[in-house]
Amino acid sequence: MPHSQSPSIIVFDVNETLLDITTLEPLFTRVFGDTRVLREWFAQLVLYSQTMTLSGLYTPFGELGVGTLQMIADIHQVTLADADIVELKKRMSNMPAHPDAEPALTRLRDAGFRLVTLTNSASGASPTPLEKAGLSHFFERTFSVETVGKFKPAPETYRLVAQELEVETFDLCLVACHLWDTIGAQAAGCRGAFLTRPGNAPLQAPGVPLPDLVASELNVLADQIILGQSSSFRQ
């Protein structure tokens, strides 16, 4: 990053980074007979959310999730029942926190960092998924891309956080387990901390920004961020 100042605000992605999407696996095992279809569905959901943004269109992430599930069912020639849609929505709104989330957030909060979230998911009525997972009290603000009508990694999504908090993007460090998210954040001027949860890995190719920090566990990444106040962030 061109700016040497360490970020003071940590921006967390929510789905998969903090909340465990593997709790959706029983639905995909039952409907498709293959747990791996969960990853296929999620990858297609991300693809089409980004397609909508690049096309100048917007549909709430949850609605895209339902439509993508129907599309995947059509591809696999599986009949989707109304009850399957209900189960998807229920499971998506009740994903538990990863075991490393609470201790890592506690460390960062105790170290004096401001903590917020930025999610592709639309905001909803209380109790929110973060509230149900017992994590909402760590965050001073929760941001949704619905405010700008664009999905991550559009630069407007990260700039929204900076504008609302009245800071610069270099004051922000995005923590996410999706490299496309950290790439977008870094391109917008933020720092990027990449969490390599299972199913996610770095991408090395010309012109692709390397994350400032990388770890396989959120506790380790939190420690790196804390150390980075003086030394760990790449300049």
Per-residue pLDDT tens, the chain, 235 aa: give them. 344 467 899 999 999 999 999 999 999 999 999 999 999 999 999 999 999 999 999 999 999 999 999 999 999 999 999 999 999 999 999 999 999 999 999 999 999 999 999 999 998 878 999 999 999 999 999 999 999 999 999 999 999 999 999 999 999 999 999 999 999 999 999 999 999 999 889 999 999 999 999 999 999 999 999 998 644 454 4
Helices and strands, counts by H and E, the chain: 9, 6
Specify the pairing of strand 114-119 against strand 9-12.
parallel
139: its two tokens? 């965050």
How far is Cα 133 from Cα 231, in angstroms, rounded to an integer? 33
Question: Residues 6 or more apart from 177 whose CB is under 8 A from it?
Answer: 13, 16, 17, 194, 195, 196, 197, 200
Confidence at residue 126, expressed as pLDDT on a 0 to 100 scale: 81
Structural domains of the chain ordered from first start: 9-19+95-227 (3.40.50.1000), 21-92 (1.10.150.240)
